[in-house]
Amino acid sequence: MMKIGVIADDFTGATDIASFLVENGLSTMQFNGIPKADEIVDTDAVVISLKSRSIPKAEAVQISLEALKWLQSKGCEQVYFKYCSTFDSTAEGNIGPVTDALLDALGEKTTIISPALPVNGRTVYKGYLFVLDQLLSESPMKNHPLNPMRDSSLQRLMEMQSDGKAGLITSDELDKGVDFVKARIEALSHEGINYIVLDALTEDHLVIQGEATKTMKLVTGGSGLSIGLARAHTAGRSGGQANSAGYPVKGDAIVLSGSCSAMTNKQVRCYSAKAPNFAIDVAKVIDETDRKQYIQEILQWIHEQKGKTLAPLIYATSDAKMLEQIQQQYGAEKASHAVEETFRLLTEALKESSITRFIVAGGETSGVVAQTLGVENFYIGPVISPGVPWVKGVKQPISLALKSGNFGDENFFARAQEEFVV
């Protein structure tokens, strides 16, 4: 019986939560998009990765409900709507509408909001989301190209984009234990609260959350909550060693980076100092004809790097100042589409090459790469950094490391290759 069915709003977020479920005792399969009706699943958990974070609300709701319908057809006991640990959803965002739609479809009135992931510096205190020691609205996320975060209050953010009322269970209340938290959830639900924001400063708080919410039909959050839920569903059974079926395959590697997050900027600078690297010139990819010609130039450059110790890096990563200049010159949506299409065309060409390991930074870029490669489902492999495992295609000899923008340390790109020798 499937204990947890996850609906993730982007690809890197899907591998993020899948890695935590496996590490904490639940066998897990991840699907790229909604699985076929006749797909056979024999794991404790299933993660469905969608690309619904930054698309129109109506589309996000529709595909999320389709994912829910599939999970219900497989006897899923608990649905988990997974979004980013930095919430990545403005007043016009999709988290609220999708949450409302899932609640309605499940016949429920109340769920929880828990984006915290303390191991990666995402904490919630008094209902405010922090990135390390900064409020979300004061962190680099305030300049996110698609979802600039200008408010740190999760209660306000939910009420601005949804139809219901938000409440809060504080860290002090969590410290009183599982029974107290369960009683508070029930009390707030009776008061007409639809979205209960949960503080979390430590992993212990996530464990308490998991135990207190394991019987709820719908939970929502980042990947941190899955630590507590997986342990609750397995009575603390350890996940043991990473699944060997997901260990990276042999072959050449490539690093592709489309994220403009603060950490990815550091990772690109660190890696560029010791590995061949190619910065995408946005001016050369805005026009469709120029873009196709430019792709050939990049492919020739990649071919020339064959045999180097570290894989070549192709990146559109830029700092906040340069990103602002690009968006002012070409328009944010047009520039973003041009870069995504560049990565799509590049990946399409690389499908026929000797490259079998793709290390990718950024949720949007990861989605493009995974879809273009046609990888429908993955085995979850060893963890490179918290929330970022290697994954291997079930039907194709392709391995992927799909990294959310701010995840991993500065040496992530090199470690992904050096610590997992094939």
Work out the pLDDT band at 92, boundaries 50, 70, 90: confident
Q: Within 10 A of 59 (CB to CB), how many other CB atoms are there?
A: 13
pLDDT at residue 163 above 80?
Answer: yes
243 confidence band (pLDDT: 50, 70, 90): low
Say if residues 121 and 164 touch (Cβ distance below 8 Å).
Answer: no
Report CA dihedral (387, 82, 228, 394) to the nearest 10 degrees. -60
10 Å CB burial of residue 288 (0-12, 13-18, 19+) is: exposed
pLDDT in tens, 183-193: 999 999 999 99
Listed in sequence order, the residues at least 6 apart from 203 whose beta carbon sits closer than 8 Å to its beta carbon are: 118, 119, 224, 227
- Weakest mean pLDDT among 127-136, 295-304, 319-328, 408-417: 319-328
The region of weakest confidence among 107-111, 197-201, 261-265 is 261-265
Residue linked to tokens 């924001």: 197
pLDDT at 148 over 80: no
**Looking at residue 76, what is its pLDDT?**
96
The percent of residues in the chain predicted with pLDDT above 90, rounded, is 66
Average pLDDT over residues 265-272: 97
- Return the higher-pLDDT residue of 315 and 421: 315
Judge whether residue 77 has pLDDT over 90. yes
**pLDDT over 70 percentage in the chain:** 96
87-96, 138-147, 392-401: the lowest-pLDDT one: 138-147
Quick one: pLDDT band at residue 242, thresholds 50, 70, 90? very low
Lowest mean pLDDT, pick from 12-16, 197-201, 204-208, 351-355 = 12-16
SS (H, E, C) the chain: CCCEEEEECCHHHHHHHHHHHHHCCCCEEEEECCCCCCCCCCCCEEEEECCCCCCCHHHHHHHHHHHHHHHHHCCCCEEEEECCCCCCCCCCCCHHHHHHHHHHHHCCCCEEEECCEHHHCEEEECCEEEECCEEHHHCHHHHCCCCCCCCCEHHHHHHHHCCCCEEEECHHHHCCCHHHHHHHHHHHHHCCCCEEEECECCHHHHHHHHHHHCCCCEEEECCHHHHHHHHHHHCCCCCCCCCHHHCCCCCEEEEEECCCCHHHHHHHHHHHCCCCEEECCHHHCCCHHHHHHHHHHHHHHHHHCCCCCCCCEEECCCCHHHHHHHHHHHCHHHHHHHHHHHHHHHHHHHCCCCEEEEEEECHHHHHHHHHHHCCCEEEEEEEEECCEEEEEECCCCCEEEEECCCCCCCCHHHHHHHCCCC
pTM over 0.95: no
pLDDT digits (tens, 9 = 90+) for 297-318: 999 999 999 999 999 999 999 9
Structure tokens at 3: 């204990």
Confidence at 241, pLDDT banded by 50, 70, 90:
very low
Of 205 and 141, more confident: 205
Binned at pLDDT 50, 70 and 90, residue 246 comes out as confident
Query: What is the band of 195 on the pLDDT scale with cuts at 50, 70, 90?
Result: very high
pLDDT band for position 264 (cuts 50, 70, 90) = very high
Mean pLDDT of the chain: 91
Pairing verdict, β 277-279 and 388-393: unpaired
What's the pLDDT at 236? 56
pLDDT interval class at 162 (50, 70, 90)? very high
Range 215-231 average pLDDT? 97
Q: Tokens 């990666």 identify what position?
A: 120
Tokens found for residue 264: 């990815």
